[in-house]
């Protein structure tokens, strides 16, 4: 069982042609630092059945973030200045996406911090969307005495 002792705020923005959208998530989870990598883990709940959850993990290394979701084939690699072909589980089956990361900045230390990632997604080399992801991690305030 994960000890959820950090607040994790995630803001995702998506831009495509004339449309744009924003999704925000504020949850609790874990944050650990091992060697040169940081790990942010939290639970994502199914929209149709909130009793069902999967653990999402962000592995943050210098210049690279790997996003993984437990119980699925989803594994997105975001590496600044590079395009990767990645698996994304749609819930109806896996889809191969091209992911190009144009900007990745992280300010993560022992007690948390933030990261900002700008990237594009493509399907069959056709632009699907431009995206921006901001993740903030901070220790959960202890309960008042």
In the chain, beta strands by DSSP E: 6-16, 19-34, 37-45, 53-61, 64-69, 75-79, 83-89, 94-109, 112-123, 126-139
Q: Which whole-number Å values give the CA distances from 34 to 61, 109, 114, in the listed order?
A: 10, 11, 17
pLDDT digits (tens, 9 = 90+) for 33-86: 998 899 999 998 777 777 888 899 999 999 999 999 887 778 899 999 999 999
Report pLDDT for 94. Answer: 80
Q: Across the chain, which distance is largest between two alpha carbons, in Å?
A: 56
Q: Which residue has better confidence, 125 or 108?
A: 108
pLDDT at 144 over 80: no
Structure confidence at residue 54 (pLDDT): 84
Residues 6+ apart with CB under 8 A from 144: none
Average pLDDT along the chain: 89
Share of the chain above pLDDT 90, in %: 61
pTM attached to this predicted model? 0.86
Instruction: Give dist(CA 38, CA 14) in Å, integer.
Output: 25
CA distances in angstroms from 8 to 41, 73, 80, 92, 107, listed in the order given: 9, 23, 23, 28, 14
Asked if residue 8 lies in contact with residue 2, where contact means CB atoms within 8 angstroms, the answer is no
Q: Give the pLDDT score at 1.
A: 41
Say what the pLDDT of residue 125 is: 81
Q: What percent of the chain stands above pLDDT 70?
A: 96
């Amino acid at each position: 069982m994960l000890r959820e002792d950090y607040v994790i705020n995630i803001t995702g923005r998506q831009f495509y042609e004339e449309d744009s959208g924003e999704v925000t998530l504020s949850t609790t989870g874990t944050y650990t630092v091992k060697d040169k990598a940081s790990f942010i883990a939290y639970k994502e709940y199914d929209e149709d059945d909130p009793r069902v959850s999967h653990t999402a993990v962000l592995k943050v290394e210098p210049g690279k973030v790997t996003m993984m979701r437990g119980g699925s084939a989803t594994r997105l690699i975001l590496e600044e200045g590079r395009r990767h072909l990645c698996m994304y589980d749609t819930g109806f089956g896996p889809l191969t996406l091209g992911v190009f990361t144009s900007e990745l900045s992280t300010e993560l230390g022992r007690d948390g911090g933030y990261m900002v990632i700008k990237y594009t997604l493509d399907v069959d080399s056709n632009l699907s969307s431009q995206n921006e992801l901001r993740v903030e991690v901070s220790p959960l305030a202890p309960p008042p005495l």
